Amino acid sequence: METVTLNGTTQTEQDSLIQKELRQKGEIPQHVAVIMDGNGRWAKSRGGVRIKGHHAGVESVRDTVEACAQLGVKHLTLYAFSTENWTRPQREVNALMTLLVQTIRSETKKLHENDIRLTAIGQLDRFPAKCRNQLAEAIRLTKGNSRMELCLALSYSGRWDITQATRKISEKVAKGQITPEAVTDELISTHLVTADKPDPDLIIRTSGEFRISNFLLWQLAYTEFYITKTYWPDFRRDELYKAIECFQGRERRFGKVSEQIVSNESEK
């Protein structure tokens, strides 16, 4: 596999070997979602201001994106800014906006060179024009890339997503375009902002919290959880590998019993 150099470094032989072993051991999740948490606490524990943690978190984003692409993950969704994050002190919100613009500006070329497609989900119209324009430009440039999708959840919340899908469906019912009976699980999924991707196979949450925090509420129905105490700015690929190894050891029954899963596997 081709070497990705998102942070300007070349992949070490040892790292390639670890990735090869992971691929041989089991399935690589197609879609990984991440709740990047603990930036503020990371900064505070070092006597710094919260935004320092967000800045440090960018390096974790870089390493995670790079390692996921190298491993063969097809979709990586990062919870970068929740709807609720708008209620943070204005100074922190402004600093996060600036960081977002800077990061997108500095990383787009490398994402493009590495065949990674940038997308975004959420109430993007709530962002300042500068942010929206930078994002739109990066999305447009990388539109045709197919190695991996990097999806940023921005001003996103799971309840908002379900609400906007419900509205769209209700309008169709009201106009007589579909009957109430046509409203199924599948139909709802196709009206969510994630309609073009599979549900996440694995979700990672950093900083040891056991919450979904209004992330992909509908889409996480059968997603495997991996929670680590590590604060996001300290999260690196070794921890990602641990999460994937843990995922590979899980039996995904999707509501069935173990014997059904085993017999299905043997029929393949």
Total residues binding ligand FPP (CB under 6 A): 19
Does 54 sit near ligand FPP (CB under 6 A)? yes
Q: In what order do the strands lie in the sheet with 116-121?
A: 116-121, 148-156, 75-82, 31-35, 202-205, 224-227
Interacting span for ligand FPP (CB under 6 A) from 38-46, 115-123, 126-134, 255-263:
38-46
Interacting span for ligand FPP (CB under 6 A) from 12-20, 56-64, 162-170, 217-225:
56-64
Instruction: Closer to ligand FPP by CB, 11 or 85: give it.
Output: 85
Does 214 sit near ligand FPP (CB under 6 A)? no
**Options 7, 15, 37, 133, the catalytic residue:** 37
What's the burial of 44, exposed, middle or buried (CB within 10 Å: 0-12/13-18/19+)? middle
Instruction: Closer to ligand FPP by CB, 232 or 247: give it.
Output: 232
Smallest separation (angstroms) from ligand FPP to the CB of 85: 5
Structure tokens at 194: 């994630």
Interacting span for ligand FPP (CB under 6 A) from 4-12, 51-59, 160-168, 240-248:
51-59
Instruction: Closer to ligand FPP by CB, 158 or 165: give it.
Output: 158
* Binders of ligand FPP in range 155-194 (CB under 6 A): none
**Parallel, antiparallel, or unpaired for β 202-205 and 224-227?**
parallel
* Binders of ligand FPP in range 74-103 (CB under 6 A): 78, 80, 85, 99-100, 103
Smallest separation (angstroms) from ligand FPP to the CB of 37: 5
37 given a catalytic annotation: yes
Does 38 sit near ligand FPP (CB under 6 A)? yes
**Options 15, 85, 145, 234, the catalytic residue:** 85
The Cβ of residue 90 has, within 10 Å, a number of other Cβ atoms equal to: 8
DSSP string, the chain: -PPP-TTSPPPPHHHHHHHHHHHHHSPPPSEEEEE---HHHHHHHTT--HHHHHHHHHHHHHHHHHHHHHHT-SEEEEEEEEGGGGGS-HHHHHHHHHHHHHHHHHHHHHHHHTTEEEEEES-GGGS-HHHHHHHHHHHHHHTT--SEEEEEEEEE-HHHHHHHHHHHHHHHHHTTSS-GGG--HHHHHHHSTTTTSPPPSEEEE-TT----TTSSTTTTTTPEEEE-SS-GGG--HHHHHHHHHHHHTS---TTS-HHHHHHHHHH-
85 given a catalytic annotation: yes
Does 32 sit near ligand FPP (CB under 6 A)? no
Does 203 sit near ligand FPP (CB under 6 A)? no
Instruction: Closer to ligand FPP by CB, 155 or 223: give it.
Output: 155
Instruction: Closer to ligand FPP by CB, 39 or 83: give it.
Output: 39
Active centre residues (catalytic): 37, 85
Instruction: Using CB under 6 A, list all residues that contact ligand FPP.
Output: 36-41, 54, 57-58, 61, 78, 80, 85, 99-100, 103, 152, 207, 232
